[in-house]
Structure 1
Amino acid sequence: MSKAESSISKADSATSVKDIIPPSHLAYRGDIDGLRAIAVLGVVLYHAFPTLIVGGFTGVDVFFVISGYLISANIYKTVASGSFSIIDFYHRRIRRIFPSLVLVMVVCLFFGWFALFPNEYAQLGKQAALGAGFVSNIGFFRESGYFDVSSITKPLLHLWSLGVEEQFYIVWPIAVVLLWRTGRFFGGFLILSIVVSLVASIMVIKTNQVAAFYLPFFRFWELAMGALLAYMSRNGWKAHSFCSWLGLALIVASYAFAKEGATFPGYWAVLPVFGAWLIIASTQQGWLNQKILACPAAKFFGLVSFPFYLWHWPVLSFANIALGEEPSLLVRIAAVVFCLLLASATYFFVEKPLRFSKKAYISVGLVLSMIGVGVFGWYAARTNGVPWRAAAIDQEALSKLMVGPTWKYTKNELCVSLYAPTFRYFCSQEEVGPPTVILIGNSYANHLYGGLVEDANLSRQNILSYGSCQPGGYQIDCDMQEQIVTENPSIKFAIINELWPRLGADGREQDMISGDSLKGGGDLAARYEEFLNAKIDFMNKHGVTTIIFKPKPEVMYEPRTCFPRPFAPAANNCVLSLEQVRNQQAGIVAVIDRVAAKHPEVFVFDQNPLFCDENSCSLIKNGLPLLRDFRHYNEYGSRLIINRFVEWSKQNNIGIVD
Structure 2
Amino acid sequence: MSNSFSYRPDIDGLRSIAVLLVLFFHAKFTALSGGFIGVDVFFVISGFLISIIIFKEINENQFSFKTFYLRRIKRLAPALIALLFLISIPAYLFLFPVDFERFSRNLIHSYLTTSNFYLWQNTGGYFSANTDLNPLMHTWSLAVEEQFYFVWPILFILLNKITKGQYLIQIMATCLIGLIALSIYLANFYSHSAYFLLPARAFELMMGAILAVSYHKLPSIKQNINHAISIAGILLILLPAFIINKQSTFPGLNALWPCLGTVLLIISGKDTNQKGVINSVISHKSLIGIGLISYSLYLWHWPIFSFVHYLGLELSGIIRIAAIILSFVIAYLSWRFIEQPVRHLNLPTFASAMKKIMLPSFIVFTTMYLLIDAMEGFPHRFNKLEEFDKKINFPSTVRRKCHDAFLIENIDQCWLGVQKEKIDGMLIGDSFANHSAALIDVFAKDAGLLIHDSTAGSNPILTRFNNQGKLQKDPEYAIKRLEAALKYEHIIISANWSLYSNPNDLNYTRLIQTIEEISKHNKKISVIISLPGTTKLNLHKLKLAKSAKFVLFDNDFAKISKTQYWESPLATEFKNRFPKVNFIDMKDVMCQNSLCNLTLDGTILYRNFNHLNTIGGTLIGEKYLKEIGNPLISAKYSK
TM-score range, shorter chain: 0.7 to 0.9
**Does 2:43 match 1:64?**
yes
Matched residue, 1:263: 249
Question: Deviation of residue 575 (structure 1)?
Answer: 6.4
Residue of structure 2 equivalent to 1:391: 381
Cα deviation, 1:592-617, whole Å, max 9, x if unaligned, reads: 56753442212122314654699996
Structure 2 counterpart of 1:288, from 270, 273, 277: 277
Instruction: Give the Cα separation in 2 of the matches to 1:306 and 1:79.
Output: 27
Pairwise CA distance, 1:205: 3.2
Q: Which amino acid aligns with 1:625?
A: I
1:527–1:135 CA distance, 2 compared to 1 (3 A): closer
For 1:590 and 1:487, the matched residues in 2 are separated by 26
1:548 is paired with a residue of what secondary structure? strand
- Cα deviation for residue 338 of structure 1 reads 1.2
Q: 1:620 Cα shift?
A: 2.6
| Aligned amino acid, residue 44 of structure 1 | L
User: Is the 1:44–1:312 contact (alpha carbons within 8 Å) kept by the matching residues of 2?
Assistant: yes
Report the secondary structure of 2:33's partner residue: coil
1:105: Cα distance to partner? 0.9
The answer to whether residue 101 in structure 2 is matched with residue 126 in structure 1 is no
Alignment of 1:391-470 (within 5 A): 391-392=381-382, 394-395=383-384, 397-400=386-389, 407-408=396-397, 415=404, 437=426, 439-440=428-429, 444-449=432-437, 452=440, 459-467=450-458
What amino acid does structure 2 have at the position aligned with 1:178?
A: L
Corresponding position: 1:151 with 2:128: no
Report deviation, 1:397: 2.0
Residue 323 of structure 2 corresponds to residue 335 of structure 1: yes
Q: How far did residue 56 of structure 1 move?
A: 0.7
Gaps of 5+ in 1: 1-22, 420-428, 502-508, 510-520
Counterpart of 2:310 in structure 1 is: 321
Residue 33 of structure 2 corresponds to which residue in structure 1?
A: 54
How big is the shift at 1:551? 5.2
- Equivalent residue number for residue 203 of structure 2: 221
Residue matched to 1:491: 485
The code of the aligned residue for 1:124 comes to F
Rounded to whole Å, the distance in 1 between the matches of 2:65 and 2:473 is 56
Q: Structure 1 615/367 Cα, relative in aligned 2: closer, same or farther at 3 Å? A: closer
Q: Deviations over 1:490-529 (max 9, x none)?
A: 334252444759xxxxxxx9xxxxxxxxxxx9x9999999
Identity of aligned residues (%): 26
2:533 aligned with 1:547: no
Range that drifts further, 29-38 or 376-385: 376-385
Structure 1 residues 205 and 535: alpha-carbon distance in aligned structure 2, compared to 1, 3 A threshold? farther
Q: Is the 8 A contact 1:403 1:628 kept in 2?
A: no
Q: Which region of structure 1 is more displaced relative to structure 2, 115-124 or 325-334?
A: 325-334
Please state how far the C-alpha of 1:203 moved relative to its aligned partner. Answer: 2.1
Rounded to whole Å, the distance in 1 between the matches of 2:297 and 2:485 is 59
Query: SS in structure 2 opposite 1:547?
Result: strand
Residues 650 and 115 of structure 1, relative CA distance in 2, 3 Å threshold: same
1-structure distance, mates of 2:106, 2:517: 46
Whole-Å separation in 2 of the counterparts to 1:536 and 1:382: 43
Indicate the residue corresponding to 1:563 in structure 2: 546
Q: Does the CA-based 8 Å contact 2:45-2:262 persist in structure 1?
A: yes
Alignment deviations for residues 416-459 of structure 1 (CA, whole Å, 9 cap, x no partner): 6679xxxxxxxxx959xx9964645x754553246557976664
Measured at CA, do residues 383 and 133 of structure 1 come closer, stay the same or move farther in structure 2, by a change above 3 Å? same
Q: Give, in whole Å, the separation in 1 of the partners of 2:216 and 2:5.
A: 11
The 3-state SS of whatever aligns with 2:547 is coil
- Give distance in 1, aligned partners of 2:267 and 2:357: 34
Counterpart contact for 2:460–2:494, Cα < 8 Å: no
- Residues 340 and 490 of structure 1: CA distance in aligned 2, closer, same or farther (over 3 Å): same
1:562 & 1:539 partners in 2: Cα distance? Answer: 45
Amino acid paired to 1:168 = F
2:77 counterpart residue number: 98
Q: Distance in 2 between matches of 1:316 and 1:344?
A: 17
Within the alignment, does 1:349 sit opposite 2:337 as a pair?
yes
Deviates more, 1:485-494 or 1:529-538: 529-538
Distance 2:402 2:122 in 1: 20
CA change 1:563–1:246 in 2 (3 A) is same
Aligned partner of 2:420 in structure 1 is: none
- Do residues 188 (structure 1) and 179 (structure 2) align? no
Counterpart in 2 of 1:165?
145
Deviates more, 1:277-286 or 1:534-543: 534-543
TM (norm. structure 2) is 0.80
| TM-score of the two chains, using structure 1 as the length reference | 0.78
CA-CA distance at 1:92 after TM superposition: 1.1
For 2:616 and 2:131, the matched residues in 1 are separated by 26
The partner residue of 2:293 within 291, 299, 304 is 304
Please report how far the alpha carbon of residue 364 of structure 1 lies from its aligned counterpart in structure 2 after TM superposition: 4.4
Aligned partners of 2:377 and 2:31: how far apart in 1? 39
Letter in 2 for 1:334: A
For residue 373 of structure 2, the aligned residue among 365, 382, 391 is: 382
> SS state of the match for residue 221, structure 1?
helix
- Aligned to 1:28, what secondary structure does the other structure show? coil
SS of the residue corresponding to residue 555 of structure 2 reads: coil
| Per-residue deviation, 1:259 | 2.9
Contact in 2 for aligned 1:99/1:355 (Cα 8 Å)? no
105-114 or 182-191: bigger deviation: 182-191
The CA distance in 1 between the partners of 2:56 and 2:123, in whole Å, is 40
Residues 76-106 of structure 1, C-alpha deviations (whole Å, 9 max, x = no match): 1111122222211111111110221111111
Q: Does 1:249 align with 2:232?
A: no
CA distance in 1, matches of 2:503, 2:321: 40
- The aligned residue for residue 512 of structure 1 is none
Contact 1:451–1:639 (Cα < 8 Å) also in 2: yes
Q: Which amino acid aligns with 1:584?
A: Q
Separation of aligned partners in 1, 2:299 and 2:433: 40
Residue 610 of structure 2 corresponds to which residue in structure 1? Answer: 631
Output the CA distance in 2 between the equivalents of 1:405 and 1:212.
33
Distance 1:247 1:499, change over 3 A: farther
Distance (Å, rounded) in 2 between the aligned partners of 1:533 and 1:590: 11
Aligned residues: 595
- Kindly tell me: are residues 528 and 197 of structure 1, through their superposed partners in 2, closer, same or farther at Cα, counting changes over 3 Å? closer
Alpha carbons 1:563, 1:570 under 8 Å: kept: no
Are residues 639 and 63 of structure 1, via their aligned partners in 2, closer, same or farther at CA, if it must alter by over 3 Å?
A: same
**1:135–1:458 distance in 2 versus 1, CA, 3 Å:** farther
Query: What residue is the counterpart of 1:207 in the other structure?
Result: 189
RMSD: 4.3
What is aligned with 1:504?
none
Change (3 A) 1:198 1:468: farther
Q: Report the equivalent of 1:621.
A: 600
State the SS of the aligned residue for 1:461. strand
Shift of 1:312: 1.1
Task: Measure the CA separation in 2 of the matches of 1:249 and 1:410.
Answer: 58
Q: CA deviation at 1:125?
A: 0.8
Q: Distance in 2 between matches of 1:309 and 1:238?
A: 34
Amino acid of the residue matched to residue 374 of structure 1? F
Change (3 A) 1:541 1:369: same
Which has the larger displacement, 188-197 or 27-36? 188-197
Change (3 A) 1:73 1:194: same
Q: Does structure 2 conserve the Cα–Cα contact (< 8 Å) formed by 1:547 and 1:604?
A: yes
Residue 234 of structure 1 pairs with residue 227 of structure 2: no
